[in-house]
Structure formats: structure tokens, C-alpha cells
Structure 1
Amino acid sequence: MNPLIFNLGRCTLFGGIRVGELERIFENVKHRISFFLPGELIEEQNSVCDEMLVLLQGQTKAQMQDFSGKVITIETMEAPSILASGFLFATENHLPVDIVSTAKSAILYIERDGILWLCKEYEVFLRNLLRDMGDRLTTLAEKVWMLSLNTLNQRLANFLLRQSDDLGDEFELKTTKEELAGALGVARPSLSRVFSEFVAQGLIKQDGRQIRILDRAALKRISGHTV
């Protein structure tokens, strides 16, 4: 068995399943592993999703192109994690995004019938899968809400507040400015300008990717939250 599969022990989808059980699982489940270099297309927008994709190694991003040709980054994923779990059992099981490798990556593909077998054999797997789908719906709802905000100042303030809620008032950005700009639906120069404004106003301190929140109350006012 490919040693990369043992990385699944750290993946939330297989949480609660002993590593020793993985060998039995992959004797019964049809699967394959493919490798990708940075910048390579893993899955194309509108392609049929009939396999579960698990990122065993590396990093990927999901992006889509709007009618003007602008590319928006929807999500960045690091191994080990599940990719596009919500589309496997959808009536219209076509991927709405391109999935692109941003580092040397290894993808495990598991056929849909294999996923159904796992759900029957391992209740913990079924629970993990349903939890992942629910978490992704929550993330999508938050993303839609953020993009509904009228100004970039609101979007960035909201993003910084959410990051600090998870990581504390001092944290490191996990993405580049280019990727964050795509996620917020704006051009990079516009995002850099608002970052500079926030620094000048004493709302944050910035050193490269390192961010420190200095005035949480002001950021809440900008984002539209009540203080």
C-alpha cells in the first residue's frame, strides 16, 4: 500500500479509524493516486465529480472565473484534507470551480461506490463526511455574506476579525496578497491600499504576512458589527 495513504490518519474524514484499518479499507475500495506539480490543473470547472478527492500531500486552490474574465480564489486547502466533498452525491455533480495545485501535490481518488461502502462499514466515517459537508456549507454562507458587503474596507475588516477570532490578535496570513485579493473579489493594488490605510489609521500593525490587531472596536465598526 502506498505510504502516502497513511497520511489519511491525520485527515478529518478518517478521524477515529485506526491506521491499521486503512490497509483493510484500501483492499476493498477502488482508488488511485495522482501527482501534480505547482500550477497544474487537477480538476477543471464543469467536470463530472464521480470520485472523492483527498489531498494527501501539498496544497491546492479552488478558483473560478467570472464573466469579465477575472479569476477569484474561492478556497485554499492544505494536506491532508478533502476536496469538493459536497458535489459527489449532488444531482448535478459537476464541479463549479477549477482545482489547481499550488505545490507538489498528491491526490487520492476514491470511487463513489467505495465511499458508500465506507459509510456502511464505518459509522464514524459517515459522521465525519456529514460534518465536513456541513462545515463547507457554513463556510460558503460566510463567503457569500462577505462578498455581499459593499466596500473592500468592510470585507477586509471582517476577514481580519474572523482570523483573529480563530488565531488571536497576532497571526500570520496563510495566503499571499494576490490570493487574498482574489478571495475578496478585488484587485491586489486595491487590497494593498486598504491594508496601508488600516496601518496608517492605527487599526493594525503589519510586518510582511504578520498581522497584529490594534483597534478591534474600530474594525468592528467598519465591518458593520456592533461593538
Structure 2
Amino acid sequence: MSTPTPDIALAAARYPMIEALPEAARGRLLAAGRWARVPAGTLLFDDHQACEGFPFVVEGSVRVVKCAANGRELPLYRVTPGETCIISSSCLLGHDDYNARGIAETDTVLLMLPKPEFDALLGEPAFRSFVFHLFAERIADLMQLIEEVAFHRLDQRLAAQLLGKGRLLHVTHQQLADELGSVREFVSRLLKGFAAQGLVKLSREQIEILDPAGLRRIASDGRQT
């Protein structure tokens, strides 16, 4: 982890709320915020850790996952520039520890707002509206994820995961399993079934989509042809 040169203009461009704050509040935010540059793969927070601040993602992305005792992960969401982390928000608002894991997916630049300043800025309408608006958006995303996991079969979710990314996907079976909150063996078995039906062609760390219409049928109703 290193300290980059503060890029206030970029932070304000990513988060227009900063410019909407009164001058004194904006000054406090920028003075109190701690800048950090972290390489891809850095563990930013984990289960049962205390939440020390509110992160603004200025560059890069953060992957937030829920981890099971057996090592399996269920991806919850990504935080990209201009967005916020609902887990961090809820921990700060509820004075609780983290209940998920956050990992820098790429080289990432963060502006971290310490908890005391987060609490103080909640008194500013622009900041409060920003936090709760994005909070509501994340809740909607999580409800959709719960619906997919609870009501859609894995073959449906896998077929949907393969669509919309072009004809050639450079991805491993493990990466797909991580995205779906499953295990590699199940995903590999389904992919082999897709290949046997002529829907995809499998190569090392590559999947070629041969029949997108067939995948869409599976994604929509779960019935393989």
C-alpha cells in the first residue's frame, strides 16, 4: 500500500456530491480523507474486522464477497469509481464490524473518510442523500442476487453468465464458479454438458460461444435442449 498524490479534481469528477457540499464541509472531507493506492489482490477488509472509514473508489475496483467456512465465496457486488460500499455504509451506520470481505480487484486508488468525519457529514443533506441513494441501489442489487441464487438453477445462471460478453470468453472454470458462488467441479460438469450439445466449445482458459440462442433458452427457462 502506498500514498498517491491526491487528485482532488478526479475525486470530485467521480463523486459530484463532493462539489455539492458547502465549502466548509468539502474542506473537512478533503482534509480528513486518507489517500491510498493498493495493488490488485489486496485484502481491504474482512469478516469481524472493525470498520474504520468510508471508502471512495477513485480508480480501480473492489470485489465484495461473502465467505463460507469451507472456503467457498459468494460474490455480492463490485465497487467501481463513483459507487459506494453498502457493507461499509451499514457497518458505520450500525456501529458493527464487517460481515463480508473486500478485495482490490485491480490496482485501486481509494480516498478513505474516517468514521468521525463520516458521522459529521451525515448532517449535510448532499452527503446524506448520496449515501442513502446508493444504499438503496445496492439493496436492490442484492435482492436480485438472492432471487437468482434461491430460485434459478445453476445451469440457468451459468448460461446467463456466458452471454453478452462476445463470442470468445477468456475465463477459467474456477473464475466462473467464483462469480456464481459455486464450485469448479459443478461448473465444469455443466460446461461439458453445454459442449456436448454444441452450445459451446471448450479450450484451455477459453470458451467459444457456438449457439447463443440455445444458451438464452436455458437461461430463460432452465431446460436444456
Q: Structure 1 length as normaliser, TM-score?
A: 0.71
SS in 1 for 2:56: strand
> Which aligned pairs between 1:90-109 and structure 2 lie closer than 5 A?
90-91=93-94, 93-109=96-112
1:115 paired to 2:108: no
Instruction: Determine the structure 1 residue equivalent to 2:56.
Output: 54
SS in 2 for 1:81: coil
Instruction: Determine the structure 1 residue equivalent to 2:158.
Output: 156
Q: Deviations over 1:17-36 (max 9, x none)?
A: 538x6985453132212222
Q: CA deviation at 1:133?
A: 0.6
Q: Deviations over 1:106-132 (max 9, x none)?
A: 2221123323443433x3332221111
SS in 2 for 1:190: helix
Q: CA deviation at 1:41?
A: 1.5
- Which shows bigger deviation, 207-216 or 77-86? 207-216
Residues 159 and 127 from structure 1, CA distance in 2 versus in 1: closer, same or farther, beyond 3 angstroms? farther
Aligned-residue identity in percent: 19
| d(CA) in 1 for partners of 2:167, 2:98 | 32
1:45 paired to 2:47: yes
Instruction: Determine the structure 1 residue equivalent to 2:220.
Output: 220
| d(CA) in 2 for partners of 1:58, 1:120 | 29
| d(CA) in 2 for partners of 1:90, 1:218 | 41
- Which shows bigger deviation, 135-144 or 78-87? 78-87
Residues 10 and 67 from structure 1, CA distance in 2 versus in 1: closer, same or farther, beyond 3 angstroms? same
| d(CA) in 2 for partners of 1:214, 1:221 | 13
| d(CA) in 2 for partners of 1:125, 1:62 | 23
| d(CA) in 2 for partners of 1:173, 1:133 | 32
Letter of the aligned partner of 2:219 in structure 1?
L
| d(CA) in 1 for partners of 2:95, 2:147 | 24
Instruction: Determine the structure 2 residue equivalent to 1:138.
Output: 140
Q: CA deviation at 1:172?
A: 8.6
| d(CA) in 1 for partners of 2:114, 2:90 | 13
| d(CA) in 2 for partners of 1:66, 1:147 | 15
Q: CA RMSD in A?
A: 3.7
- Please tell me whether the aligned partners of residues 194 and 200 of structure 2 are also in contact (alpha carbons under 8 angstroms): yes
Residues 195 and 24 from structure 1, CA distance in 2 versus in 1: closer, same or farther, beyond 3 angstroms? farther
1:178 paired to 2:181: no
Instruction: Determine the structure 1 residue equivalent to 2:28.
Output: 28
Letter of the aligned partner of 1:86 in structure 2?
S
Q: CA deviation at 1:139?
A: 1.5
| d(CA) in 1 for partners of 2:50, 2:167 | 38
- Please tell me whether the aligned partners of residues 153 and 222 of structure 2 are also in contact (alpha carbons under 8 angstroms): no
- Please tell me whether the aligned partners of residues 52 and 112 of structure 1 are also in contact (alpha carbons under 8 angstroms): yes
| d(CA) in 2 for partners of 1:34, 1:219 | 41
SS in 1 for 2:9: helix
- Which shows bigger deviation, 202-211 or 191-200? 202-211
1:187 paired to 2:187: no
2:76 corresponds to which of 60, 64, 74 = 74
1:9 corresponds to which of 8, 12, 26 = 12
The count of aligned residue pairs is 213
Q: CA deviation at 1:47?
A: 1.0
- Please tell me whether the aligned partners of residues 146 and 158 of structure 1 are also in contact (alpha carbons under 8 angstroms): no
Q: Structure 2 length as normaliser, TM-score?
A: 0.72
Q: CA deviation at 1:220?
A: 1.0
Structure 2 gaps of 5+ residues are none
